[in-house]
A = this chain, B = another copy of it.
């Protein structure tokens, strides 16, 4: 699936996160970069992006990376997510860059670094596991 197909499929499946305006800036058979649009509803006191927003971005990026490999039929679900918050994100743009560590028959594991526009070092790091349903 191309970046455009991924975005379209995501909008259709997850209208609840339309507010993130996810944009797939790059995707191939191992890596992905997904950008979100940060709005007031994603912020916390002090103007930083909230933790759950960052988790959501990483989770969505992993879902899209997996989707790009197995196509839109399968209903993969998150089984675990581990996040380390590294430094305060700036209130501007936020994007996730990540790669598939493993893509097995029943499990896929990915690793993501989250970056805030204007900061060189990552603001958060995520590893996450998805369960892949049996293919028909």
Contacts and interface: CB of A to CB of B under 8 A. Distances in A.
Interface of A: 13-14, 16, 40-41, 43-45, 50-53, 55-56, 59, 77-87, 101-102, 106-107, 109, 111, 113, 121-122, 125, 127, 129, 131
B85 A101 contact: no
Chain B CB within 10 Å, residue with most, of A40, A51, A59: A51
A80 B82 contact: yes
A124 to B, nearest CB: 9
A81 B78 contact: no
16 contacts: A13-B45, A16-B43, A51-B78, A52-B56, A55-B81, A77-B85, A78-B85, A79-B85, A79-B129, A80-B129, A82-B127, A84-B109, A84-B129, A106-B131, A111-B125, A127-B127
A79 B85 CA distance: 5
Contacts of A87: 102
Given A14-B44, A122-B101, A83 B85 contact: no
Contacts of A78: 51, 85
A84 B101 contact: yes
B45 A51 contact: no
